[in-house]
Amino acid sequence: MTEPTTDQVASPAAAKPQSGRSVTLRKRPGRRRASPAAGAGPLLTTEGLTRHFKIGGGLHRRTLHAVDDVSLSIGAGEIVALVGESGSGKSTIARLLARIYQPTSGEIFLQGRRLSAIRSRADLLAYRSDVPMVFQDPFASINPVFRVSHGVERSLKLHRPELSRAERRAEAVRIFEVVGLNPGAEVLERFPHELSGGQRQRVGFAQALAMRPKLILADEPVSMLDVSIRIGLLNLMTKLRDEEGVSILYITHDIASARYVADRLVVMYAGQIAESGPVEDVLARPRHPYTQLLVSAVPDPRAEVSVGADTDRGEPPRVIDPVPGCRFRWRCPLAEQVCHEVTPPLRQLLPDHSAACHVATADAELKAF
Ligand SMILES: Nc1ncnc2c1ncn2[C@@H]1O[C@H](COP(=O)(O)OP(=O)(O)O)[C@@H](O)[C@H]1O
Ligand code: SF4
Ligand SMILES: [Mg+2]
């Protein structure tokens, strides 16, 4: 079985630096804007989410601030893209939300329910089925020894014990077909090594979907895939949003793919949120100098450009025992004295658009890059 060719788009105008392959990501046609039910409130929120790691020993013991004071919100039926260069804390946020890591401080709320209040194994299992994770490497979540039916049927057995064996099989077939693994009954019988990378990643989404999730945490789900098959997976994410009503936190270092699928964008820098807002607004009129740098490094806004490809020059951010002040100040042409002394809080500039910068304004007239 091959990847769906209708998903493939190629253009010589937009070259991908690493592989020499090329792809152009236009804004997805006819895409539905997320419209969470009025008054329903956000699906998941974090307040001051912080995770530090102790590194070194003895006199050399230091504290690495992987994630500092992150407050974000994800609406029902919304794709939020979390973008930032390598080491900016994206995966740590995903692991905190998946309850793989405990926060150093701060809180996570799912539909208003405080995650730290979860005590019983049953409640934790219920949370994990509401918020499953899809990993970057499809092999990480698929056992190579078993047929691919094993993982999805195991998920169904654990999270939906009311299903009979026959119903479980029928549901597994349905889910495989939802994620584009056709014919489901046939693909379920294959071993992971008999599938392509893209198909294996679809199995990862099928395993998540089997839990009837509210929010899928997708940590760089397409970055290990061949460029030509990435769009099929991006389209799958929008399908899961539009047809299954699932929210997705899409973690990526590629701005173009974020623009293609996401409703809102959260830009991370050195463990903190630099800017967040509706994806088109943030990319068309970036308020934070770091976002401006990212956007200026993308010559064609539809081309696939990795964050960090041309944006990580200058001093790297200091996240080990950081001192107060803006973590972007060593790269920022607009830095003022206050930027060296006071950490800029995330300020709301427009109703749904915030930036953590002392000088950023709602009208986006200040240009650093
Ligand atoms: N378990 C860990 N122990 C120590 N440092 C870690 C650990 N996990 C992540 N880090 C550090 O936290 C920072 C953020 O990492 P990560 O969340 O993986 O970033 P990203 O996913 O954006 O590349 C990095 O400096 C990384 O080295
Ligand atoms: S707070 Fe200061 S250093 Fe940081 S991005 Fe804004 S202007 Fe630049
Ligand atoms: Mg990561």
**Nearest alpha carbon to residue 287 among 196, 201, 352:** 352
Q: What 3-state class would DSSP assign to 88?
A: coil
> Do residues 169 and 292 share a domain?
no
> Whole-model pTM?
0.89
> Do residues 118 and 243 share a domain?
yes
Q: Atom 26 in ligand 1: which residue has the minimum CA distance?
A: 87
Strands (E) located in 181-235: 215-219
Q: Helix 227-244 to helix 197-209 angle, to the nearest 10 degrees?
A: 20
> Do residues 128 and 265 share a domain?
yes
- How many Å lie between the centroid of ligand 2 and the Cα of residue 320? 19
**Which pLDDT band, with edges at 50, 70 and 90, does 346 fall under?**
very high
Summarised one tens digit per residue, pLDDT across range 106-139 is: 999 999 999 999 989 999 989 999 999 998 887 7
> Would you say residue 6 lies in a domain?
no
**Distances, alpha carbon 13 to alpha carbons 23, 299, 302, in Å:** 8, 11, 10
Give the pLDDT confidence score for residue 228 in this predicted structure.
Answer: 83
Give the pLDDT confidence score for residue 307 in this predicted structure.
Answer: 57
> Would you say residue 154 lies in a domain?
yes
Ligand 2 atom nearest to CA at 360: 6
> Would you say residue 103 lies in a domain?
yes
> Do residues 199 and 279 share a domain?
no
**Nearest alpha carbon to residue 217 among 96, 106, 300:** 96
> Would you say residue 363 lies in a domain?
no
Pocket test residue of 64, 100, 327 for ligand 1, highest count of atoms within 8 A of CB? 64
**pLDDT of 3 strictly over 60:** no
**Which pLDDT band, with edges at 50, 70 and 90, does 98 fall under?**
very high
> Do residues 223 and 77 share a domain?
yes
- How many Å lie between the centroid of ligand 3 and the Cα of residue 116? 24
Q: Which of 165, 182, 212 is the last residue of a domain?
A: 212
Determine contact, residues 362/349, Cβ cutoff 8 Å.
yes
**Which pLDDT band, with edges at 50, 70 and 90, does 177 fall under?**
very high
- Residues making up the chain, counted from first to last: 369
Q: Which ligand is nearest to the CA of 317?
A: 1
**Which 8-state DSSP code applies to residue 117?**
G
Give the pLDDT confidence score for residue 301 in this predicted structure.
Answer: 52
Identify the CATH number of the domain in which residue 86 sits: 3.40.50.300
329 lines ligand 2 (CB under 6 A): yes
> Would you say residue 24 lies in a domain?
no
Give the pLDDT confidence score for residue 18 in this predicted structure.
Answer: 36
Range of the domain at 178: 141-212
Structure tokens, 342: 């006071």
Ligand 1 atom nearest to CA at 253: 22
> Do residues 111 and 245 share a domain?
yes
> Would you say residue 3 lies in a domain?
no
Q: Parallel, antiparallel, or unpaired for β 264-269 and 62-70?
A: unpaired
- How many Å lie between the centroid of ligand 1 and the Cα of residue 250? 17
**Which pLDDT band, with edges at 50, 70 and 90, does 308 fall under?**
low
**pLDDT of 309 strictly over 80:** no
Quote the CA–CA distance of 180 and 177 in Å, as a whole number.
5
> Do residues 127 and 156 share a domain?
no
339 lines ligand 2 (CB under 6 A): yes
Give the pLDDT confidence score for residue 16 in this predicted structure.
Answer: 34
Q: Which of 251, 285, 307 is the last residue of a domain?
A: 307
Structural domain count, the chain:
2
Q: Atom 6 in ligand 2: which residue has the minimum CA distance?
A: 357
- How many Å lie between the centroid of ligand 2 and the Cα of residue 310? 19
> Would you say residue 359 lies in a domain?
no
- Does residue 190 or residue 38 have the better pLDDT? 190
87 lines ligand 1 (CB under 6 A): yes
> Would you say residue 341 lies in a domain?
no
- How many Å lie between the centroid of ligand 2 and the Cα of residue 75? 29
**Which pLDDT band, with edges at 50, 70 and 90, does 314 fall under?**
low
> Do residues 111 and 149 share a domain?
no
Average pLDDT over residues 151-162: 92
Determine contact, residues 85/311, Cβ cutoff 8 Å.
yes
Q: Helix 149-159 to helix 121-130 angle, to the nearest 10 degrees?
A: 130
Q: Which ligand is nearest to the CA of 368?
A: 2
Tokens 């890059």 correspond to 369
> Do residues 78 and 219 share a domain?
yes
> Do residues 112 and 155 share a domain?
no
> Do residues 193 and 81 share a domain?
no
> Do residues 251 and 109 share a domain?
yes
Q: Which of 288, 307, 326 is the last residue of a domain?
A: 307
Summarised one tens digit per residue, pLDDT across range 83-92 is: 999 999 999 9
- How many Å lie between the centroid of ligand 1 and the Cα of residue 86? 9
